[in-house]
A and B are shown apart, each in its own frame.
Chain A
Amino acid sequence: METAIHELTAGYALDALEPTEREAYERHLAGCARCQEELASFWEVTGALAAAADGPAPSPALRERILDEARAEKQTVVPLESRRRISPVLASVTAIAAAVAIGLGIYAISLHGQLGDTKSALSAQQSAAAVLADANATTVALKSGSGRLVVAGDGSAVLVLDELPAAPSGKTYQAWVVTGRVPVSAGTFTSANGQAIVPIPRTVPSGAVVAVTVEQAGGAASPTLPPVAASDPV
C-alpha cells in the first residue's frame, strides 16, 4: 500500500491522477517526507519538460492583461506562513490548491459534509460577532459577488454579502467551503434587506475558497454551478 501510493508521485507530478486519487495523494503527502522529497525532484523534471514544450510565443497583450488584472485586484495579503510553519513542498501544494480553486467549477463534485447548521441561530450570530470583532482577523476579497470574507486567527470565518437579492421563491442560498477540489456544505441561509452575514460553521483553512450557490429550498448535496459569489483563496 505504501509503495502503491509512493508510486503515485510520478502521476501527481505529471498532473495525471484522477481527482479522487489526487486528493488521496495530497493527504498522504502531508505526512510523508519521502514523497515530498521525491515530488520536489520530479517537479524539476516536469519543469524541464515544460521548457521543452516547443509551443508558440504569447501575444504581447497577454502580459498587459495579466498586469492590469493584478493591479485591479486589491491584493489579498494572505499570511499563510506567518501563523504556522508548514513544509515548503506542502506550501507549494497549498498554493496549487488555491490556484485550482480559482476557477470554481473545475472541481469534482464529491461531498463529505452534512447539510444544515448545527448551531442555533443565536449562537451563530454570536460567533459571527466574535469573528468580526477579532483584531487578528484577515479580510479576503471576493472574486465574484459583492462583500468580503472575514477569517479569524483560529480559522473560523464569516461571509458578509452586500447587494444580495432575496433568493427566488422555492430556492435558498447555500454556502460551500472548497478545499482543493472538494466542496463541503457550510449550510443554507437567506438574504435580509439585500444583505447576509453568514457564519461559516466549520474552519476555513489556508488556500480554501468560500462560495455561494442558489439551490432548491432545503439545500443540495452538491453545488449547482455557477456560484453567485466566491471568495479569493484564504
Chain B
Amino acid sequence: MPAPIHAVVPLPDPPDLWSMRRHLAHLSDEALVALVARGDEAALAELYDRVGRVAYGLAFRVLRDDRLAEDAVQEAFLGVWRTAAGFRAERAKASTWILTLVHRRAVDLVRREERRRADPLDEATSDLATSESAEDAAWLGFERERVQAGLRQLPHAQREAIELAYYGGFSQSELAERLGVPLGTIKSRMFAGLTRLRELLQDGAEEGSWKPQSTS
C-alpha cells in the first residue's frame, strides 16, 4: 500500500479542474482578465484557448518563423499575466488588448531580427497545420472574408500601406523609402485607409450587408 501522497501534496482533483473550466466557459473575455489579475491560472488557460489561435496566426504572419512567433505569443501572454490588473474594459475589448500586445511584440522582434519577408502580400499560408475545431475554423473564415472584403474596397495605395505596415511590420519611414513617396503621404494613406476600413467593417456589422463570397 503506497503512502497517502495526496495528504502531503494536496493537488486538486482532475474533476475539479474540469468543472472549473466549464465554469469559466461562459464568462466574457473581460471577466477572465479580471480573474487573471488575481492570479487565476485556469482563467489564463481559457483566455489562451480563445485568443491563442489568432494570436499565433498573427505573429507568424508578421515574423514568418515559428520559433519567433511562439516567443512573441508567449511574451504577450505573460505580459497579460503580469499586467492584467492594469486592464480596463470600458473601451478596449480584452481580445483586442491581447492581440495589440502580440502585434507590438511581433513587430519589435521582426525589426530587431531584420527578417524581411520578400513580399508580405503573398498569401502563402494555406497549408495550415491546424487542430482547431470546425467551429473556430468557420468563425475565422468568416472574419477573414469580412476583412478581406473591406480591404478590397480601399484604394490600392491605402490597402498597400496598411498591409505592409500591419502584416509586414514596416514602419512609416521604411515604407516611404521602399515605395518612394513622401513620409507625409504614407501617414495620410494609413489614416485615411484605417478610417475607411473602420466604416466598412462597422457597416458590415450593423447592417449585415456583408455576404460571404463563394468559396473558390
Binding site for B on A (CB under 8 A): 7-11, 13-18, 21, 36-37, 40-60, 62-63, 65-67, 69-71, 73, 75-81, 88-89, 91-92, 94-96, 98-100, 102-103, 106, 206-207, 232-233
Q: Which 10 pairs, one residue from A and one from B, show the smallest C-beta to C-beta distance?
A: A55-B57, A99-B79, A52-B147, A58-B56, A88-B88, A55-B60, A80-B86, A16-B165, A47-B96, A10-B191
Please determine whether B171 and A67 come into contact, CB atoms closer than 8 angstroms.
Answer: no
B191 CB, nearest partner CB in chain A, Å: 4
Tell me if B's interface is mostly helix, strand, loop or mixed: helix
B165: contacting residue among A9, A14, A44, A48, CB under 8 A: A14
Contact with A along B34-52 (1 / 0, CB 8 A): 0000010100110011001
8 new A-B contacts, CB < 8 A, other than A57-B57, A58-B70, are: A14-B165, A15-B104, A51-B147, A52-B144, A53-B167, A62-B52, A71-B41, A89-B91
Any A CB within 8 A of the CB of B121? no
Tell me if A's interface is mostly helix, strand, loop or mixed: helix
Please determine whether A67 and B97 come into contact, CB atoms closer than 8 angstroms.
Answer: no
Please determine whether B104 and A100 come into contact, CB atoms closer than 8 angstroms.
Answer: yes
Stretch from B1-9, B12-20, B192-200, B206-214 at the A interface: B192-200
Please determine whether A80 and B83 come into contact, CB atoms closer than 8 angstroms.
Answer: yes
A70: contacting residue among B44, B92, B125, CB under 8 A: B44
Known: A18-B171, A95-B86. A75 touches B81 (CB 8 A): yes
Residue of B nearest to A99 (CB): B79
Number of A-B residue pairs, CB cutoff 8 Å, is 250
Known: A62-B70, A96-B104, A99-B79. A55 touches B194 (CB 8 A): no
Please determine whether A54 and B123 come into contact, CB atoms closer than 8 angstroms.
Answer: yes
- Interface residue ranges of B55-88 to A (CB < 8 Å): 55-62, 66, 69-70, 73-79, 81-83, 85-88
A210 CB, nearest partner CB in chain B, Å: 15
Instruction: Tell me the bound Cα distance from A85 to B201 in angstroms.
Output: 32
A96: contacting residue among B70, B82, B100, CB under 8 A: B100
- Interface residue ranges of B171-201 to A (CB < 8 Å): 171-173, 175, 187-188, 190-191, 193-195, 197-198, 201
Please determine whether B129 and A57 come into contact, CB atoms closer than 8 angstroms.
Answer: yes
Chain B contact-residue range equals 35 or more
Query: Which residues of chain B have C-beta atoms less than 8 A from A60's C-beta?
Result: 131
Query: Which residues of chain A have C-beta atoms less than 8 A from B170's C-beta?
Result: 16
Contact with A along B118-134 (1 / 0, CB 8 A): 00000101011111100
Query: Which residues of chain A have C-beta atoms less than 8 A from B90's C-beta?
Result: 88
Instruction: Tell me the bound Cα distance from A31 to B58 in angstroms.
Output: 31
Query: Which residues of chain B have C-beta atoms less than 8 A from A62's C-beta?
Result: 52, 56, 70, 73-74
Instruction: Tell me the bound Cα distance from A45 to B143 in angstroms.
Output: 12
Any A CB within 8 A of the CB of B32? no
Instruction: Tell me the bound Cα distance from A11 to B73 in angstroms.
Output: 22
Query: Which residues of chain A have C-beta atoms less than 8 A from B140's C-beta?
Result: 51
Instruction: Tell me the bound Cα distance from A79 to B86 in angstroms.
Output: 8
B170 CB, nearest partner CB in chain A, Å: 7
B125: contacting residue among A14, A56, A81, A95, CB under 8 A: A56
Q: What are 15 A-B residue pairs whose CB atoms fall within 8 Å in the complex?
A: A15-B107, A15-B165, A16-B172, A44-B96, A45-B197, A45-B201, A51-B144, A54-B123, A55-B61, A56-B57, A57-B128, A63-B45, A70-B81, A73-B81, A100-B108
